[in-house]
Amino acid sequence: MKYKLSRTCKDCKNVDVFELTKLQAAFSHTDDIDKFWNVNCSVCGSTNCKMINKESVKIDEELLNLWGMDSNLSFATQDEDIILADVAYFDIILNSIDDDRFLDKKIDLLTSALCILLFDNIVSPEEYTSSENQQRQRIAALVVKALSKRKSSIIRAQYLISDYVKKLVFPKLNI
C-alpha cells in the first residue's frame, strides 16, 4: 500500500500528489517532509507552497518491530510515547514489551506509553459520561494488570514519564 503526500501550490492552487512507501510514511520526519516545500509545482513551476499534507500511518506489528530494534527509526521527533498511548496499540505493545531484541530505550518508551494510556483512562472522570467511564475503567484495569507486572521497567523508564502522569498513575500501581 502506498501513502499519499499532497502539496498545494500557493500561486495556482494545484495539488501535486506524491507517493510514499509505508516505511517512508511511518518514519519520515519534519526534515524529510520539509523537502516537499521546495519542489516546483507541476503546473506553474512555482516553489511557493501553501501546505503539505501527509497521510498518517497506523502503527502495526511490522512497524513496531522495526522501530523497536533500530535506534535510527522513530515515529516522531518527540513524544513518541504519547503517540503510542492509544488503546488501539495496546495489544501490539504487550506483544513487544517483553521482546529482548528490543532496545532498552524503546522498551522504556513502550512502558511510558502504557503509563500515559492509564493516565488518560483515569484522569477527570467528571468530564465523561457514565458509559464512557465504564469503558475507561475496563481499559484502565487491563493496563494496571499489565503494568503491575513491570514495576522495575517503570522505575527504569521514569526519566521519560511526566510528573503529572506519575502523580496519578504510580499510586494505582503501588509505586
Residues that bind Zn ion (CB under 5 A): 9, 11-12, 14, 41, 43-44, 46
Q: Residue 6: beta bridge partners?
A: 17, 53
- Smaller CB separation from Zn ion, 12 or 76: 12
134-143: long-range pairs with CB below 8 Å, 24+? 139/87, 139/90, 140/172, 142/90, 143/90, 143/114, 143/117, 143/118
Least spacing, CB of residue 15 vs Zn ion, in Å? 9
Give the nearest distance from C-beta 42 to Zn ion in angstroms.
Answer: 8
Place of cell 513524544: 79
Nearer to Zn ion by Cβ, of 40 and 137: the residue is 40
In the bound complex, what is the minimum distance in angstroms from residue 5's beta carbon to Zn ion?
Answer: 16
Report CA Rg, the chain.
20
Q: Which is nearer to Zn ion, 36 or 128 (CB)?
A: 36
